Structure 1
Amino acid sequence: MYTVSIIGTGYVADFYMRSLQTFPEVKVLKAYDINQQRLKVFADYWHVPTAASLEELLNTSDAQERPMLILNLTNPHAHFTVSKACLEAGYNVYSEKPLSIKMEDAFELHRIAAEKDLYLASAPCSYLSQVAQTVWLAVREKLMGKPLLVYAELDDDFISQAPYQKWISESGAPWPAEDEFKVGCTLEHAGYYLSWLMMIFGPIEKVIAASAEIIKDKLPNNQQTAPDYSTATLFFKCGLIARITCGIVAPHNHGLRIICEQGVIEVNESWNNAAVVKTRRRYVLHRKLINSLFTRKLKLSGPSHPMGPKKGNTKMNFALGPMELLSAIKEQRPPRTSADFALHLNEVTLAIQNARDNTGVQIMKTSCPEQPPMPWAHALKS
């Protein structure tokens, strides 16, 4: 049996709870939130015990009440404070994205985890999914030859005009519009494809980015909000170049194209763990260069992981990351969701987000380690 406790019971916590049900070997020991009313609604809906305070959750003397892992699902501005308290109390931590909104705080979390020999990781975890692992396998097997260039899009349409006031989680939590607009779409979303690319191609050495706030007055009373558009060119240590775009203005587009010597590897949706991966070959016909109208669908040769449940509005299994970390803790091995990986992801994401103020070339100080693929991502169907 694996054990976790949850801090933060807002909108995203329902996605985790529903996803954790796909792993019956995981038990939620306790949940806590500073909003006691929200905590009660969440706990009643999911039938989980609660802690009256953060101190009660962290300082229990009962060994059976100490979880193997704490899920930090709080507001992004609280990630650093909560994760630091958990690490200092001796707990392994899996944090919702970002690891921290300030890079110096992310470095401090990384340092504490290393000094205490604790596991520290952050979302998103979709790079552990069937679709991302299939893309990586296609790259490893060079189905389209050597990868040269990547285009990754994470546009979510004109969100400020959407009826987001009606977006309610499964247990009744409202979509946190204020947090989303103040934190920004780059910190919230860029990690979905950045983590895929870091997994496949390794560390990013240089970032040239720009970000801007296009839509003003998304919140009342002239509250300051984050950039709602960003674009970056990423220079990987391996030589690959990638362009990534995030926004909440342009029409929905979550497409990924890996342009290779002989064709393209394509995915149309990063937020669907079961999205279709395709290859599109390039050839010459009658003195013209043609990108084929026909594609080949790629499938793994065997089962992968439990998919996210159909109930709810997400097609991602949010428990893949915590489960990988729990397995690593039990097996006493380095996790695929490592602290180094989380730190590098945080630095690259902040470099893009903060490009509104820090223009020009940004050289990364962190790196990420090579990691093995998931054990089930070893072969494609013929």
Structure 2
Amino acid sequence: MKKLRVGVIGIGDISNVYLNNLKKYDAVEVVACASRGLEKAQRKAAEHGIPKAYASGMELIADPDIDIILNLTTPQAHYEYNLAALKAGKHVYTEKPLAMTFEQGRELVSLAKEKGLLIGCAPDTFLGGRLQNIRELIDSGRLGRITGGGAWFVGHGHEFHHPAPAFFYQPGAGPLYDMGPYYVTALLSLLGPVKRVCAMATKAGETRTVPSGPSKGQVLPVDVDTHINAILEFVCGAQVTLTCSFDVWDSELPRMEIYGTEGTVLIDEKDPISGPNLFGGDTLMRTPDQYRWADAERRPENVNAPWPVVPNSHPYNSVSHAENPRGIGLVDLVYALEEGRKPRASGEMALHSLEVMECILKSAHEHVFCEPTTTFEQPKPLDWQ
């Protein structure tokens, strides 16, 4: 297959994971990078053996030798660069979210379709071993009919560890737009499109004070909801509770559970920034014969029995935040182009995710049910190496 040439816009910390991973695949070659300032871009290019460096993203987009733009800029800049890249006739793979608003996202997806280009969007963690393992359990029928579930991202915000946390409390962020895409995308990949949404939302306070680090003492205005509870009804019939919160000091909640007529699967990490945003980890499962009340004589044993771990032979099983397979969604997009199919981490799924999140806030603020207008093709399980 033809090797496609990638240009990277945005070379912050996350770029190293992408750049290191993309070197492993013959389908792509990173040929240029850009930053706000040529010197920084040149340092990154030298570090990773990238031939070209540019002082701005727009300069990179204008390079006729580039086939795909990898957009790793901050969320506020996603729409601008994604739009410019598509107008320049280049395929796009962008960090989440696709854009800051659903309308912007819809414009991007429509333009890509009009120009015959592919647009893909992170997160691609649903291609990791654990969520692929759960997808296999669902598709094989071992869980029976999926009836419901729950997903919980709960913690106390980023001011305890992030050097510049102000953005997380401004429109376009908050717990829903910051971490919600990992949880929503995981659910979409497992269950398909959402039919209807209802939600409530609030915030614990109008300001936050940074307790440590370079911004210690800074008072942050809180202009977003910081505690959101939603119920998502899927086209398949499942009903899933979703909670995203920056207002929880600690919790014993799992990260995600999926309920079927023949069993329950569980993702359980106590680290609030772990869960569906990791590629790997254990999948726990219980079936009717392990139900604590299934056999009266075994009740004491069943009550305290640990959850069995489902064997996992899928690739991309990293449980590291620093070293993981991030970027496999872009590589799959290249294979999709060669094979004439939709990429698994598709712009359509990212657009539906964006609309679902807007629906959550619309429902919470207007006290109504909200029905998404978009849909997408549920990505097929990963079958390439």
Match of 1:267 in 2: 267
Alpha-carbon displacement from aligned partner over 1:98-134 (angstroms, at most 9, x marks no partner): 1111111111111111100110121111111111110
The question of 1:340 aligning with 2:348 is answered yes
1:317 is displaced (CA, Å) by 1.9
Contact 1:184 1:226 in 2 (8 A): yes
Contact 1:280/1:292, CA 8 A, preserved across alignment = no
Q: Tell me what 1:115 maps to.
A: 114
Runs of at least 5 residues in structure 1 that lack an aligned partner in the other structure = 166-175, 378-382
Measure how far apart 1:31 and its partner are: 1.0
The answer to whether the Cα contact below 8 Å between 1:280 and 1:294 also exists between their aligned partners in 2 is no
Total equivalences in the alignment: 358
In the alignment, is residue 278 of structure 1 matched against residue 284 of structure 2? yes
Q: Tell me the C-alpha RMSD between the 2 structures.
A: 2.7
Displacement of 1:314? 3.4
* Residue number among 24, 36, 53 corresponding to 1:50 in the alignment: 53
Report if the CA contact (8 A) 2:129-2:280 is conserved.
yes
Q: 1:181 is matched with which residue: 164, 169, 181?
A: 169
Per-residue deviation at 1:57? 1.4
Per the normalisation by structure 1, the TM-score is: 0.84
Deviation at 1:32, TM superposition (A): 1.2
DSSP 3-state at the match of 1:296: coil
Report the residue type matching 1:137 in the other structure: E
Q: Is the 8 A contact 1:135 1:277 kept in 2?
A: yes
Aligned to 1:363: 371
Displacement of 1:360 after TM fit?
A: 2.2
Query: With structure 2 as the length reference, what TM-score do the two structures score?
Result: 0.84
Q: In structure 1, the residue corresponding to 2:53 is in which secondary structure? A: coil
Query: Amino acid of the residue matched to residue 320 of structure 1?
Result: I
2:226 counterpart of 1:228: yes
Amino acid at match of 2:305: L
Q: Alpha-carbon deviation of 1:320?
A: 1.5
Label 1:344 to 1:262 Cα distance change in 2 as closer, same or farther (>3 A): same
| Secondary structure of the corresponding residue to residue 150 of structure 2 | strand
Structure 2 counterpart SS, 1:230? strand
Query: Aligned partners of 1:14, 1:124: CA distance in 2, in Å?
Result: 16
Contact 2:23–2:29 (CA under 8 A) maintained in structure 1:
no
Q: Residues 359 and 4 (structure 1 numbering): CA distance in 2 closer, same or farther, change over 3 Å?
A: farther
Corresponding residue number in structure 1 for 2:14:
12
* 8 Å Cα contact 1:160-1:218 kept in structure 2: no
- Cα-to-partner distance string for 1:49-100 (whole Å, 9 max, x where unaligned): 3113333312234xxx223x21111111111111100100001111111111
Counterparts of 2:356 and 2:32, CA distance in 1: 33
* Separation (CA, whole Å) in 2 of partners of 1:178 and 1:225: 10
Q: Deviations 1:293-325 (Å, cap 9, x if unpaired)?
A: 24332224x5x4345596xx4354211211111
Instruction: Map residues 1-382 of structure 1 onto 2, 5 A cutoff.
Output: 1-23=3-25, 25-36=27-38, 38-48=40-50, 49-61=52-64, 65-67=65-67, 69-155=68-154, 157-160=155-158, 162-165=160-163, 176-182=164-170, 183-218=173-208, 220=218, 223-250=221-248, 251=250, 255-268=255-268, 269-282=275-288, 283=291, 284-286=294-296, 293-300=305-312, 302=313, 304-308=314-318, 313-314=321-322, 316-353=324-361, 355-375=363-383
Deviations 1:192-235 (A, max 9, x none): 12112212221101110122222432374654532222121001
Q: Distance in 1 between matches of 2:168 and 2:279?
A: 23
1:170 aligns to what? none
SS of equivalent to 1:363: coil
Amino acid in the other structure paired with 1:230: I
> For the structure 1 residues 254 and 325, does the alpha-carbon distance in structure 2 shift closer, same or farther, using more than 3 Å as the test?
farther
CA change 1:224–1:130 in 2 (3 A) is: same
Closer/same/farther in 2, CA of residues 374 and 292 from structure 1, 3 Å limit: farther
Q: Is the 8 A contact 1:281 1:291 kept in 2?
A: no
- Closer, same or farther in 2 for the Cα pair 1:355/1:254, shift >3 Å? farther
Alpha-carbon separation, structure 1, partners of 2:112 and 2:222 = 33
Residue 9 of structure 2 aligns with an amino acid whose one-letter code is I
Report how far residue 42 of structure 1 moved: 3.3
1:36/1:104 Cα in 2 relative to 1: closer, same or farther (>3 Å)? same
Q: Is the 8 A contact 2:359 2:371 kept in 1?
A: no
Name the CA distance, whole Å, in 1 between partners of 2:41 and 2:206.
33
- Greater shift after overlay, 318-327 or 192-201? 192-201
Aligned to 2:207, the other structure's residue is in SS state coil
CA distance in 2, matches of 1:309, 1:127: 13
User: 1:130/1:359 Cα in 2 relative to 1: closer, same or farther (>3 Å)?
Assistant: same
Query: Does the residue aligned with 1:9 lie in a helix, a strand or coil?
Result: coil
Q: Identity of aligned pairs, percent?
A: 22
Query: How has the CA–CA distance of structure 1 residues 349 and 15 changed in structure 2, closer, same or farther, with 3 Å as cutoff?
Result: farther
Secondary structure of 1:135's aligned partner:
helix
Residue 33 of structure 1 deviates from its aligned partner by 2.1
Equivalent pair of 1:308/1:314 in contact (CA under 8 Å): no
Structure 1 match to 2:213: none
| Cα gap change, 1:228 to 1:315, in 2 (>3 Å) | farther
Asked if structure 2 preserves the Cα contact closer than 8 Å seen for 1:19 and 1:317, the reply is yes
Aligned twin of 1:171:
none
Letter in 1 for 2:122: A
